Amino acid sequence: MIPKKATIIILVIFSALSFLKLYTLAPTISEYELPYVSHKISHHDSLPAEDTLAEDTLSPKEYQLLSNLISRRAPCNLLFFGLKPQFLDLAALNTEGTTIFLEDDSEKLKTQLPKGMGIYLVKNHEKAGKGFELLEHARKHPSCGLQVGLITESGCKLALKGLPEAVYGRKWDVIVIDGPSGDQPEAPGRMGAIYTAARLAHMGVDADVFVHDTDRMIEKWYSWEFLCHENLVSSKGKLWHFRVAAHSGSDRFCSQSAVQIL
C-alpha cells in the first residue's frame, strides 16, 4: 500500500503537469491581432441594425492604430470616405499634407475645415442591399479589373465616377473608409467606396488603406475581394489595415483565389 505522504506527492506532481499542459495550450495574443479569416462567407449573413453612437465612433485602440500610422506618414495625401469629429483630429496630424473628405451628407459640408483640408459631396453610392448583386457583377465583367483605363470612364457599376478631379489626380498615401453609413439595406453602402479606394491605392506606392466596421458583411466581403487578405497587415477591433503596393501590370486585385460566397 502506498504511504499517505507518497500519495500526496504524486497528486501534487500530476496537478502541476496538468496546469503546465493547460498553459501551453492557451492562445497567445500578438500586438496586432489579425481577424479570423473564412474564405466561405454566407450570403445569408444579416446586415446590422441601426448604429448606436458607440458603434459610429472609433474605439481607443482603433483610433490609436490610425493616429500612429498617419503621424508616421505625414506629410502625406490623406483621403477619408466619411466625415466624423474624430477624423478632424486625425487629419490635424497630417501637418503640411493634403486631406480630403468625401461625404454623402450635405449637412456636413458646412463643417469649417482648416487650411490644407477639403470636403466634397458624393451622392452616387448604391444601396447596401445590392452588395451581393454588385459583387457578382464585378466578378463577371472585365471592366471591373485593374487594367481598365480611367476610373471616370469605367464600365464597372462599382466605380465612383463622379468624384472631384482632386481625388483622381493624386496618388494617395493613406485612405480611410468609414462612410457612407451602410447600416441598413436601403442605406448607401460602401461597396463603391472600397472598390474605388482599391483602384486609387494601386495607382500610388505602398498605400495604407483602412476599412472600419469589418464585422458587417459588406465591409468584410469587399475588403477580401479588392484589398485582399495577402495585404492585411494589422487590425484593431473592427478596423482592418491593408498595405497595397502599386499594381504590377496584372488585372487582378489579389493573387489568391476569390472569396467564396455561398
HEC string of 105-156 equals CHHHHHCCCCCCEEEEECCCCCEHHHHHHHHHHHHHCHHHCCCCCCHHHCCC
pLDDT tens readout for residues 183-209: 999 999 999 999 999 999 998 889 999
Q: How far is CA 21 from CA 8, 12, 14, 159, 241, in A?
A: 20, 14, 11, 53, 35
Helix (H, G, I), strand (E, B) or coil at 165: helix
Side chain identity, residue 114: P
Confidence check: pLDDT of 43 > 60: no
Q: What pLDDT shows up at residue 38?
A: 36
Q: Could you give the residue ranges of the DSSP H alpha helices within the chain?
A: 4-25, 60-73, 85-91, 131-140, 165-168, 191-203, 217-222
Residues 91, 102: Cα–Cα separation, whole Å: 13
Confidence check: pLDDT of 6 > 50: yes
- Categorize the per-residue pLDDT at 1 as very low, low, confident or very high, splitting at 50, 70 and 90: low
User: The whole model's pTM is what?
Assistant: 0.78
- Shortest CA distance to 113 belongs to which of 91, 129, 128? 91
Cell numbers 455561398 label which residue? 262
Q: Which residue has the higher pLDDT, 261 or 5?
A: 5
All domains of the chain in start order, with CATH: 38-261 (3.40.50.150)
